[in-house]
Chains A and B, each alone.
Chain A
Amino acid sequence: MSTMNTVGRPTAPNQVSEKPATLTGGRGLLQNEALIFEGEGWGKTGVDLPEPKTTGSDLGDLVRKDPIGLPGLSEPEAMRHYVRLSQKNHAIDLAIYPLGSCTMKHNPRLNEKMARLPGFSDIHPLQPISTVQGALELMNTLAHWLKTLTGMPAVALSPKAGAHGELCGLMAIRAAHEASGQHEKRRKVLVPTSAHGTNPATAAFVGYSVVEVAQTDDGRVDVADLASKLGDDVAAIMVTNPNTCGLFERDILEISRLTHEAGAYFYCDGANFNAIVGRVRPGDLGVDAMHINLHKTFSTPHGGGGPGAGPVVLSEALAPFAPAPWVVHDDNGYRLVEREEDEAAQAFGRLCAFQGQMGMYVRALSYMLSHGSDGLRQVAEDAVLNANYIKARLQDLMSPAFPDGPCMHEALFDDEWLKGTDITTLDFAKAMIDEGFHPMTMYFPLVVHGAMLIEPTETESKAELDRFIHAMRLLAEAAKAGDVDRFKGAPFHAPLRRLDETRAARSPVLRWTAPDGSNQAA
């Protein structure tokens, strides 16, 4: 037996200079994987169910007769299909994921375990209140943490993502202006040019016209420009702080004072709360509403693009307008305020069918309890330290967009340093993929040319940062040395080469269709 799997093996690798293409298109462990619709799964199932005793004949003509078009996979085939697919993804668990403004930090598995306790995962949103006291206690405890950390008196938990939270905040603002009879004249929302796209999209969605506020040369809101645009026709300002350039708005107290003086509300985009949690309370900055992306600061997994959760903390002035439902704790225990009357008479409505993202609440609270308030403060400090370290170690080769002073949790570079190389930010990003790294956020914020926004987060070790910095320096040197092909053709070593996005948009193919045009194999 000792010769098993060893006979016939060369003692050293053969010396072959050219790398021939494989015959199947496979690449070592990386399998080519067909779509489930292209396999042999028509008529198959991977679930063993008892034989139904009914045929549904009591439903007559309501019964679906034509084939639906859903192939099935046995369990081993399903496992292979998805595991093979998974291996074509980058992940935080694999390496640094420095997407600026996305806060890709480690996702503790304790949070996953807690969210799967049957007492949280297997309860129905409309069970009698007496049977979900622990769930309401959890929501109330999460609310307490969020209110304490932000220094705000109220929180609406139900928004299902950051953008949904923005919607919640702006609708509360609108409701407050309606209640005071000012809605008709206050039809503008001021948004800095560096804002996330969701800010102007949300303001427009709620029916406001968006007015852009200029930025200063040092990457902050131009307070003079803001002051000149504030007036009794402005409903709110939307400011991200720390902002999307990774900088703290030094004049934030002046910004909120001017805003309130004009009778407008201060909406803060809390996407970057991770940089200040435990050190700064938005309530102390004069914020009236701020959404908190639980999937960023409080480490609920990003899951390939969701689900998120976007609770919104609210000031005293906006709290009465929070959407239903919310949790109340009194002598009889916990209850849900679901009706828009009495204590909720001014609620602006309801944002979703049920209580929001309970599964995310459990994960976020598990994370908060683990860190404690002292740990969360360390989170902000290490996130900021890591970003500044990257900035310091790369600034001799690359051009920081705002070289003076420290950054917060993300380091922003422009493409000035690539001038004359014929290499773009996109090319550089794709070459990073070949070196085994997920690129930083590219071309955002829009105010910086060819922007490269690097957010390491606090969960990267110094060794991983040094590995990343080493690769970035080698690439930057290669770019400056005129090694253009390395960048223009990149990526060469990823599961796929650069994809044709123009073609995808010009003639969209959004679903599999059989060669004969039907929705299943012949």
Chain B
Amino acid sequence: MRYLPLTPDDREAMLAAIGAKSIDDLFVDVPQAARREGFVDLPRVAGELEVERTLSAMANKNASAGSVPFFCGAGAYKHHVPATVDHVIQRSEFLTSYTPYQPEIAQGTLQYLYEFQTQVANLTGMPVANASLYDGSTAMAEGVLMATRVTRRNKAVISGGVHPHYVRATETVVHAVGVETLALPAAVDAEADVIAQIGPDTACVVVQTPNVFGTATDVTKIAEAAHAAGALLIVVVTEAVSMGLLKSPGEMGADIVAAEGQSIGNALNFGGPYVGLFATREKLIRQMPGRLTGETVDADGERGFVLTLSTREQHIRRDKATSNICTNSGLCTLAFTIHMSLLGETGLRKLALLNHEKAVATRDALAAIPGVEVLTPRFFNEFAIKLPKNAAEVVDTLAGHHVLAGVPYSRLAPDAGMDDLLLVAATETTLDHDIKFLAKALATVLAA
């Protein structure tokens, strides 16, 4: 087998050195009743060509985003990733290294993590960021838990504009710890309803901007209301590119930012792996979950970087840790930081404007279709439309016409009573031709 270097002669020599007669001698501690001889219903060793054929056959059954006019968003976005990114993340020294436990021989990883933390802090407008969490949804859950630790209160108020899957992932985890959540009803402009729900027992208020319907909102007033009540404001961002155009969460008074970083440097990947961005204010860092990289010096006084504040973490604190998290999103953070370094502020601002431009053009084209009502008042690169038909059925029909028209809201929240609502996203990858194609196909389906 090509991944196994030992030869039969090696194995024999090694067994002799150990003083064992056969390999079975080394498995002597396994109870007889639990030993297996083999697995008849699984295939045997296969060459590269064979594996490639099997997996390519599966891949070919899927409609990839790049092969059709494509308008899906709702927390995962199709952006162009520069070729440099994928080349660099496949370098052996990045791809096949581990968590930088020995900093003297892991400065490559530690320095890019430090740069990543600074980029994320600046992008979100916050003083500090960690070295990433699994994804945006788990970052939100960790944010709520952190807020309960900081405020010693037990209730989270969640805006009806937050992605329903984020809400569900958060509820699942925080309810297990006994934290209460008040998830407000879904609405295109749900942020307007949040302030009235803040009370003296509120640990945090969670708002998303742009929200799941695409609505961009200045949440400064919500921050003020939360702070006046002694609560923290958590701002969720599912489209990281939006921060290149819109006011940052930090500017609007966020205490914690939980964001999905997939849009920068990372492919759609059918939902993962992605990269959770997590940023906060300086005085809260000791309550922060996840890994942190910090600056220090070596024995000769040279600057270097190490994992730090690990006394918050599970391998030191065990059952007293701030979180059980062990891994971060390593290689996805590298992809993020390389793409962001290539973009720079100039490129990011331009990229964000292009996204907005394409979405506005898409909105204009769809708004002209009889029966289509645009619901989102102000948006970055995604908006909601109301259809005269069931949105999921329309999307399925359009898929048959080789256009992926967006995400029906009912896919995220089947019980919200919004079966006619469709979320449509555009990015810099959207062609004018795609927009025309979508508009024409949608008009045809609606007219049928």
Contacts and interface: CB of A to CB of B under 8 A. Distances in A.
B344 A114 contact: no
B344 A43 contact: yes
A462 B404 contact: no
Contact of B108 (A86, A97, A250): A86
A375 B45 contact: yes
Interface string A156-167: 000011111011
A49 B332 CA distance: 23
Given A123-B270, A250-B29, A166 B300 contact: no
Nearest to A512: B118
A198 B56 contact: no
Contacts of A285: 34
A262 B115 CA distance: 51
A354 B319 contact: no
A75 B84 contact: yes
Contacts of A306: 132, 273, 327-333
B104 A119 contact: no
A304 interface: yes
B314 A501 contact: no
Given A120-B62, A197-B313, A500-B297, 11 more contacts: A68-B345, A92-B97, A135-B270, A284-B36, A304-B109, A306-B328, A353-B75, A355-B271, A389-B17, A461-B6, A504-B306
A429 B270 contact: no
Interface string A340-354: 000000001111111
A462 B14 CA distance: 8
Interface stretch (A104-112, A224-232, A479-487): A104-112
B318 interface: yes
A171 interface: yes
Contacts of A204: 318-321
A136 to B, nearest CB: 9
Contacts of A9: none
Interface string B346-359: 11111111101100
Contacts of B298: 496-500
A396 to B, nearest CB: 12
14 contacts: A49-B347, A63-B246, A91-B92, A91-B94, A91-B96, A121-B269, A128-B399, A200-B319, A284-B33, A302-B330, A304-B98, A359-B267, A382-B11, A408-B29
Interface centre among A99, A278, A389 (most CB of B within 10 A): A389
Nearest to A117: B59
Contacts of B117: 510-511
Contact of B404 (A118, A124, A372): A124
A128 B35 contact: no
Contacts of A417: none
A503 B6 CA distance: 45
Nearest to A49: B350
B62 A119 contact: yes
B156 to A, nearest CB: 15
B316 interface: yes
Nearest to A370: B51
B27 A304 contact: no
A252 B33 CA distance: 11
Contact of B243 (A37, A64, A458): A64
A372 B47 CA distance: 10
A372 B45 contact: yes
A385 B11 contact: yes
B417 interface: no
Contact of B319 (A45, A50, A201): A201
Interface in A342-381: 348-360, 362, 365-366, 369-375, 377-379, 381
B34 A252 contact: yes
Contact of A85 (B55, B72, B111, B344): B111
Contact of A107 (B95, B345, B348): B95
Contacts of A350: 165, 168-169, 172
Interface stretch (B184-192, B195-203, B286-294, B367-375): B286-294
A29 interface: no
A265 interface: no
Most buried by A among B13, B93, B269, B352: B269
Interface in A73-129: 73, 75, 78-79, 81-83, 85-94, 97, 99, 102, 104, 106-108, 110, 112-114, 116-128
Contacts of A126: 72, 74-76, 407, 411-412
A369 B99 contact: no
Contacts of A167: 173, 324
Given A64-B244, A279-B27, A163 B314 contact: yes
Nearest to A464: B5
A311 interface: no
Interface stretch (A10-18, A52-60, A470-478): A52-60
B330 to A, nearest CB: 4
Interface in B18-67: 18-20, 23, 25-31, 33-36, 38-39, 41-48, 50-52, 54-67
A460 interface: yes
